[in-house]
């Protein structure tokens, strides 16, 4: 289990993590979700003892990472797929890691086989594609057959087949009772990969829970086309629903169910032409949760920047 | 077998890293070519001019130091090897992978130091002995020559290997402190080439007192069979150089342990 308690990390004036507390449990895939710059990678570096916390603690089964007797056998991590010496072969990269933790060389060939890199094991890692780099990083993470695994944005650069493979791998690692902690800034990806979610924004915890819980909490939207959109809109607003007009005839009602909209229209004698509940996707739930927490939001227009 | 990480496992891991990149091989090839090639060239030059040499030049002539002239160039190759061994890890971020596998940073660093010192010591000693023998065979019959059977000659030759090994460690220390290849190499080169120029700007009565402390001049003292004016005796020079390297290495280790990666 990974235990994060009141963790704060500052880099000069920048507060990358702000009083963050959560646990990552064994036996499930835990997604670590947040917009760019929200502190996911920083949290992972602190867990691995690479960066020292400004306040608070991160522990692995109750111990500080630096106190692990054989780190690769206890924790496997993929931080950055490009983090290999470009001139070193994949096999030598893994052999050097294995040697540091007294892991047998035969295990290196085994993990190369598992990730499908046996054929290119002696090639320079600098010539690898990003996807092959991710596979090499995953090979390094599972090298010591650890019970706890951390992956920072592992699907970046993978093709659909690779993404499927990674998802299945995480699933089977969790089913074996391991702790699997995977970061992403894509909710849609996490919806398919994770069981449990920890959502952060600007370095602090926004929410956590199962994927089902988080989607259920998100506000639903109802799309309605009717004979009297203005009348319906006024009535809905008076009931404190948020309404936006899409065009002459149709409205989007946020936070209402289709039953509520349908009954109200009936009371007013308005004819419903179309009524569609739009279930909030996990993506929308995420956008809603992190709306105030986005560090780097893009400007809607890209044209201005060019002429500026 | 214990599965706990140790200095031994760190050494094995670092040895695999050291031998599995081409920069190490190129650095060593450069070291061999410069040490032996320049030693032979300078010996030929001396041999050619011997008949015109002044009496003073003849009595101060040091055949051992002459055959080891290549170390003045090879010192840059070993510095680069040492600096790259660390700075490479920062350049491609493998330092994070390395320290996740080996979170005891001192053990990690001493693994690197052991690999660098042992392999460079063996190689530089062999290369310096070859350079010495090649140089003496060029000089023989024309000028006085040295012999490994002579204690002070042997000491000078072996000291050349020690000097180069110490300088590779200096490169490693700069890599630890500066973490960028280009910065580490620039500072290394500055210590050997720019610092002497700065000393030259000092008042002339200070220059002799200060310049004997320069790393390159300490190297010259270590590899000479005679003690030149305004320079340290060989053992004193070696001790001073060891102090420099130990000081920078300590600074590098303290930064490695305390900084985020
Ligand atoms: N070494 C550092 N020095 C200074 N600031 C840093 C450092 N590392 C991270 N930060 C800052 O901390 C914040 C969190 O960064 P972090 O990389 O952890 O975010 P992230 O959630 O991983 O983002 P992304 O989705 O883009 O990978 C950012 O504002 C970043 O600029
Ligand atoms: Mg990140």
Range name among A260-264, A282-286, A302-306, B45-49 with the lowest pLDDT average: A302-306
DSSP one-letter string for A227-245 = S-HHHHHHHHHHTT-EEEE
Is the per-residue pLDDT at B216 higher than 70? yes
Which atom, in ligand 1's list, is nearest to the CA of A45? Answer: 18
The predicted pLDDT at position A297 comes to: 60
Alpha-carbon distance of B45 to B65, in angstroms, equals 14
Alpha-carbon distance of A64 to A69, in angstroms, equals 11
> Mind listing the pLDDT tens digit for each residue in B30-59?
999 999 999 999 999 999 999 999 999 898
A72 vs B contacts (CB less than 8 Å): 100-101
B241 pLDDT tier (thresholds 50, 70, 90): very high
Range name among A43-47, A216-220, B59-63, B193-197 with the lowest pLDDT average: A216-220
Task: List all residues whose CB is within 6 A of at least one atom of ligand 1.
Answer: A 11, 14, 16, 34, 36-42, 185
Q: Work out the average pLDDT over B90-111.
A: 97
From the list A41, A89, A47, the residue with the least C-alpha distance to B100 is A47
Look at chain B and report how many structural domains it folds into: 1
Q: Do A100 and B98 touch (CB under 8 A)?
A: yes
How would you classify residue A255: left for phi > 0, otherwise alpha for psi between -120 and 50, otherwise beta? left
Determine how β-strand A148-152 pairs with β-strand A179-184: parallel
> Mind listing the pLDDT tens digit for each residue in B121-150?
999 999 999 999 999 999 999 999 999 999
Range name among A203-217, B86-100, B148-162, B234-248 with the lowest pLDDT average: A203-217
Range name among A132-136, A158-162, B214-218 with the lowest pLDDT average: A158-162
* Chain A closest-CA separation from residue B244 CA (Å): 29
Name the pTM for this structure. Answer: 0.87
From the list B115, B220, B228, the residue with the least C-alpha distance to B163 is B220
The third-level CATH classification (topology) of the domain covering A2-208 is Rossmann fold (3.40.50)
What are the boundaries of each domain within chain A?
A: 2-208, 219-279
Alpha-carbon distance of B226 to B247, in angstroms, equals 28
Q: Do A69 and B5 touch (CB under 8 A)?
A: yes
Q: Do B16 and A45 touch (CB under 8 A)?
A: no
Q: How many residues does chain B have?
A: 261
Nearest CB to A101; choose among B9, B16, B96:
B9
Task: Determine how many CB atoms are found less than 10 A away from the CB of residue B114.
Answer: 16
B98 vs A contacts (CB less than 8 Å): 100
CB distance from B181 to chain A under 8 Å?
Answer: no
A305 pLDDT tier (thresholds 50, 70, 90): very low
Surface of B (102-141) touching A: CB under 8 A: 102-104, 111
Sheet holding A242-245, edge to edge: A242-245, A250-254, A221-226, A272-278
* Chain A closest-CA separation from residue B108 CA (Å): 9
Residues 6+ apart with CB under 8 A from B222: B156, B159, B160, B162, B163, B234, B237, B238, B241
Measure A11 CA to ligand 1 centroid, in angstroms: 9
Cα three-residue angle B35-B38-B40, rounded to 5 degrees: 100
Task: Determine how many CB atoms are found less than 10 A away from the CB of residue A64.
Answer: 12
A298 pLDDT tier (thresholds 50, 70, 90): low
The predicted pLDDT at position A299 comes to: 55
CB distance from B182 to chain A under 8 Å?
Answer: no
Nearest CB to A100; choose among B10, B21, B260:
B10
> Mind listing the pLDDT tens digit for each residue in A234-257?
999 998 888 888 888 889 888 788
Sheet holding A2-11, edge to edge: A14-24, A2-11, A55-60
B88 vs A contacts (CB less than 8 Å): 85
The predicted pLDDT at position A284 comes to: 67
Range name among A65-69, A201-205, A301-305 with the lowest pLDDT average: A301-305
The predicted pLDDT at position A273 comes to: 92
The predicted pLDDT at position A300 comes to: 52
Q: Whose CA is nearest to atom 14 of ligand 1?
A: A39
B15 vs A contacts (CB less than 8 Å): 99
Q: For residue A161, with 0-12 CB atoms within 10 Å meaning exposed, 13-18 middle and 19 or more buried, which class applies?
A: exposed
Sheet holding A179-184, edge to edge: A75-78, A148-152, A179-184, A29-33, A196-201, A204-210
Is the per-residue pLDDT at A296 higher than 70? no
**Which of A271-275, A285-289, B152-156 holds the top average pLDDT?**
B152-156
Range name among A16-20, A23-27, A281-285, A299-303 with the lowest pLDDT average: A299-303
The predicted pLDDT at position A218 comes to: 65
* Chain A closest-CA separation from residue B112 CA (Å): 12
Alpha-carbon distance of B243 to B232, in angstroms, equals 15
Mutation target for B interface from A99, A124, A151: give the one with most B CBs within 10 A. Answer: A99
The answer to whether A150 touches A78, Cβ cutoff 8 Å, is yes
Q: Work out the average pLDDT over A40-51.
A: 98
The predicted pLDDT at position B113 comes to: 98
Q: Do B96 and A45 touch (CB under 8 A)?
A: yes
Q: Whose CA is nearest to atom 7 of ligand 1?
A: A11
The predicted pLDDT at position A249 comes to: 83
Q: For chains A and B, what is the number of CB pairs under 8 angstroms?
A: 107
- The more confident residue out of A211 and B122 is B122
DSSP one-letter string for A177-217 = T-EEEEEES-HHHHHHH-SEEEEEETTEEEEEEEHHHHHHH
B17 vs A contacts (CB less than 8 Å): 85, 88, 92, 96
The predicted pLDDT at position B45 comes to: 96
Range of the domain at B46: 2-258
CATH number of A219-279: 3.30.70
The predicted pLDDT at position A307 comes to: 38
The predicted pLDDT at position A304 comes to: 42
Measure A295 CA to ligand 2 centroid, in angstroms: 13
Nearest CB to A100; choose among B2, B92, B101:
B101
The predicted pLDDT at position A156 comes to: 84
Measure A221 CA to ligand 2 centroid, in angstroms: 32
Is the per-residue pLDDT at B1 higher than 60? no
């Amino acid at each position: 289990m990974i235990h994060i308690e009141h963790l704060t990390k500052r880099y000069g004036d920048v507060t990358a993590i702000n009083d963050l507390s959560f646990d990552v449990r064994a036996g499930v895939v835990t997604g670590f979700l947040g917009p760019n710059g929200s502190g996911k990678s920083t949290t992972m570096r602190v867990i691995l003892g690479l960066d020292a916390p400004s306040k608070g603690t991160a522990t692995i089964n109750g111990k500080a990472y630096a106190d692990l007797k054989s780190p690769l056998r206890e924790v496997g991590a993929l931080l950055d797929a490009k983090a290999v010496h470009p001139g070193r072969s994949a096999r030598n990269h893994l052999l050097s890691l294995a040697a540091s933790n007294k892991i047998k060389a035969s295990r290196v060939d085994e993990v190369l086989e598992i990730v499908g890199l046996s054929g290119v094991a002696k090639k320079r890692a600098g010539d690898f594609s990003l996807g092959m780099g991710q596979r090499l990083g995953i090979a390094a993470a599972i090298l010591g057959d650890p019970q706890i695994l951390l992956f920072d944005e592992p699907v970046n650069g993978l093709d659909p087949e690779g993404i499927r493979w990674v998802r299945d791998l995480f699933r089977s690692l969790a089913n074996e009772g391991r702790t699997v902690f995977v970061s992403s800034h894509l909710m849609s990806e996490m919806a398919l990969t994770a069981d449990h979610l920890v959502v952060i924004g600007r370095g602090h915890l926004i929410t956590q829970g199962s994927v089902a819980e988080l989607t259920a909490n998100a506000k639903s939207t109802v799309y309605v086309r009717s004979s009297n959109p203005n009348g319906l809109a006024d009535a809905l607003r008076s009931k404190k629903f948020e309404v936006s007009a899409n065009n002459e005839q149709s409205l989007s009602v946020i936070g209402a169910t289709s039953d509520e909209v349908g009954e109200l229209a009936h009371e007013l004698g308005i004819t419903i032409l179309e009524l569609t509940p739009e279930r909030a996707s996990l993506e929308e739930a995420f956008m809603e949760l992190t709306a105030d927490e986005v560090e780097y939001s893009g400007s809607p227009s890209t044209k201005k920047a060019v002429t500026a | 077998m214990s599965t706990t990480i140790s200095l031994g496992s760190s050494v094995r891991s670092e040895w695999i890293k050291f031998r599995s990149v081409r920069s190490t091989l190129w650095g060593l090839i450069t070291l061999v070519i410069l040490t032996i090639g320049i030693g032979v060239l300078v010996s030929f030059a001396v041999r050619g001019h011997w008949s015109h040499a002044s009496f003073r030049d003849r009595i101060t002539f040091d055949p051992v130091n002459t055959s080891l002239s290549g170390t003045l160039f090879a010192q840059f190759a070993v510095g680069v090897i040492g600096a790259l061994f660390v700075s490479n890890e920062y350049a491609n971020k493998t330092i994070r992978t390395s320290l996740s596998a080996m979170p005891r940073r001192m053990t990690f660093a001493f693994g690197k130091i052991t690999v660098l010192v042992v392999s460079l010591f063996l190689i530089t000693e062999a290369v310096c002995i070859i350079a010495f023998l090649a140089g003496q065979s060029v000089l023989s019959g024309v000028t006085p020559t040295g012999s490994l059977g002579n204690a002070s000659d042997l000491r000078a030759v072996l000291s050349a290997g020690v000097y180069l090994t110490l300088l590779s460690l200096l490169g490693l220390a700069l890599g630890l402190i500066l973490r960028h290849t280009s910065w580490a190499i620039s500072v290394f080169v500055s210590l050997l080439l720019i610092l002497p120029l700065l000393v030259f700007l000092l008042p002339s009565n200070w220059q002799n007192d200060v310049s004997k402390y320069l790393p390159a001049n300490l190297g010259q003292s270590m590899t000479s069979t005679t003690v030149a004016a305004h320079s340290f005796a060989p053992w004193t020079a070696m001790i001073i150089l060891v102090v420099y390297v130990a000081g920078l290495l300590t600074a590098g280790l303290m930064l490695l342990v305390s900084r985020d990666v």
